[in-house]
């Protein structure tokens, strides 16, 4: 409803060169395969651009296409209408974002239905301009406002170029449509006819052929220029490839040489490491052997010392036994001597006990003498 309200303000009827608003909304929005399409029902009053062309008021038509009507401009800005708002959610647009009414009108389809609801006809302003035999300036302006119009078909599958030949427009207009969409020359309408086949008595053959030849010459020149550019690019690219290849080969050779040098260094280091390892192992073995020999000598010396000590110990033990035996004999002699003294040897001189040696002192004295 918001779009309908905007369209009520935007599109009106041309009266004496001025734009008057329609009484009802004329623009409808629907989606065909995801593409937004703007349409206008002819029986509910078509928009102002179509009305002007239908009445063949070409001055008013150009005023609308050039957006020169002050009232139209004010109404468009007051409506804050943008083409974006017709495809997306409504947002408050800025004045400089307003889509010119001429552009929206140029892309709006006008259709009429029969009583049973079937489409009787459906055309764009570019189709209508050709049917109503508009001046060349009108057709050129419509193509400027909506270039895609040259590629779109009416309800009978006619492109604008089909209609140009069918209605016998000037060769200049034929050339304009061919320039706008060159592929149209070979397109078929619903009756399987090309644009040229729609012309009565082959009218427009000359301009058609000239247009095709001109397009072919242009295409051939563009093709030649493209081939020349491609050849130049190929040559330049080949040179760059050769340079890169040479640099790669040089780098590869240098890298190969560096790798060989590194391998030689690695081999030399490995040999040196092996030699040092062997030397260290040999020195270690020699040192261990010497250490073992020294230890064996020390062990042998220790063993000999132990044997000597053992012999000395055995000797000392024997000597000890001998000393003990002597002590026992001395003790026995002392006992016998004491008994003799007790039996009555009264005449024996009294012995000073201080000069008498006990058995231990005698034993030690004997031991000192032996040593």
Higher-scoring residue by pLDDT: 12, 364: 364
Which tokens go with 338?
Answer: 């004491």
The answer to whether the CB of 111 falls within 8 A of the CB of 40 is yes
Percentage, residues of the chain above pLDDT 70: 70
Position 132 pLDDT exceeds 80 = yes
Helix or strand run (H / E) with residue 270: helix 205-342
* pLDDT confidence bin for 77, thresholds 50/70/90: low
* Predicted pLDDT of residue 341: 73
Q: Give the pLDDT score at 86.
A: 39
Least confident of 69-78, 109-118, 168-177, 321-330: 69-78
Is pLDDT at 107 greater than 80 in this prediction?
yes
For residue 146, name the pLDDT band (cuts at 50, 70, 90): very high
Torsion on CA atoms 71, 72, 73, 77, rounded to nearest 10: 100
- Section 35-55 average pLDDT: 84
DSSP 8-state assignment for residue 202: G
User: What confidence tier does 369 reach under pLDDT thresholds 50, 70, 90?
Assistant: low
pLDDT of residue 93: 43
Least confident residue range of 30-39, 98-107, 349-358: 349-358
Mean of all residue pLDDT scores within the chain: 77
**Residue 70 clears pLDDT 70, i.e. is over it:** no
Task: Band the pLDDT of 283: cuts 50, 70, 90.
Answer: confident
Region 111-128: mean pLDDT is: 92
- Domain range summary for the chain, segments of one domain joined by +: 1-148, 156-247
Residue 7's pLDDT band (cuts 50, 70, 90): very low
pLDDT in tens, 227-276: 888 888 888 888 888 898 888 888 888 888 889 988 889 889 888 888 88
Encode pLDDT of 46-69 as tens digits: 788 999 999 999 999 999 888 755
Q: What is the pLDDT of residue 242?
A: 86
Give the mean model confidence (pLDDT) for residues 173-195.
90
Band (pLDDT 50/70/90 cuts) for residue 348 is low
349: helix, coil or strand?
coil
166-169 contacts: CB < 8 A, separation 24 or more? 166/198, 166/199, 166/200, 167/130, 167/131, 167/133, 168/199, 168/200, 168/203, 168/204, 169/130, 169/133
Contact 38, 28 (CB under 8 A): yes
With 50 as the cut, is the pLDDT of residue 20 above it?
no
Residue 129 pLDDT class (50, 70, 90 cuts): very high
As to burial, measured by CB atoms within 10 angstroms (0-12 exposed, 13-18 middle, 19+ buried), residue 180 is buried
More confident residue, 25 or 222: 222
Fold that domain 156-247 belongs to in CATH: 1.25.40
| Residue of higher predicted confidence among 62 and 345 | 62
Residue 182 pLDDT exceeds 60: yes
Q: Can you give the pLDDT at residue 226?
A: 86
Residue with tokens 């209508």: 128
């Amino acid at each position: 409803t918001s779009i309908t309200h905007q369209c009520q303000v935007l599109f009106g009827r041309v009266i004496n060169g001025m734009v008057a608003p329609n009484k009802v909304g004329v623009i409808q929005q629907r989606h065909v395969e995801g593409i937004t399409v703007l349409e206008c029902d002819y029986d509910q009053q078509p928009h102002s651009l179509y009305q002007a062309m239908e009445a063949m008021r070409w001055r008013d038509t150009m005023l609308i296409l050039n957006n020169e009507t002050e009232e139209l401009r004010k109404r468009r800005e007051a409506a804050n209408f943008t083409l974006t708002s017709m495809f997306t959610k409504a947002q408050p647009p800025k004045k400089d974002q307003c889509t010119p009414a001429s552009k929206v009108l140029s892309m709006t389809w006008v259709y009429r239905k029969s009583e049973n609801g079937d489409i009787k006809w459906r055309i764009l302003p570019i189709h209508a301009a050709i049917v109503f035999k508009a001046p060349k300036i009108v057709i050129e302006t419509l193509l400027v406002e909506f270039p895609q119009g040259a590629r779109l078909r009416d309800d009978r599958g006619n492109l604008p170029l089909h209609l140009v030949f069918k209605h016998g427009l000037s060769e200049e207009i034929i050339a304009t449509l061919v320039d706008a969409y060159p592929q149209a020359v070979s397109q078929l309408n619903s009756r399987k006819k090309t644009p040229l086949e729609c012309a009565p008595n082959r009218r427009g053959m000359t301009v058609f052929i000239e247009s095709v030849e001109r397009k072919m010459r242009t295409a051939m020149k563009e093709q030649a220029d493209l081939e020349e550019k491609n050849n130049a690019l190929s040559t330049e690219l080949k040179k760059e490839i050769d340079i890169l290849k040479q640099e790669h080969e040089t780098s590869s050779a240098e890298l190969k040489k560096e790798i060989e040098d590194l391998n030689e260094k690695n081999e030399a280091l490995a040999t040196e490491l092996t030699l040092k390892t062997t030397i260290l192992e040999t020195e270690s073995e020699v040192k261990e052997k010497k250490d073992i020999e020294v230890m064996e000598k020390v062990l042998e010396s220790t063993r000999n010392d132990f044997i000597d000590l053992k012999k000395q110990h055995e000797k000392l033990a024997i000597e000890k036994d001998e000393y003990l035996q002597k002590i026992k004999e001395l003790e026995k002699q002392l006992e016998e001597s004491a008994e003799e003294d007790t039996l009555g040897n009264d005449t024996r001189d009294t012995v000073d006990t201080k000069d008498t040696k006990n058995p231990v002192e005698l034993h030690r004295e004997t031991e000192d003498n032996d040593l």
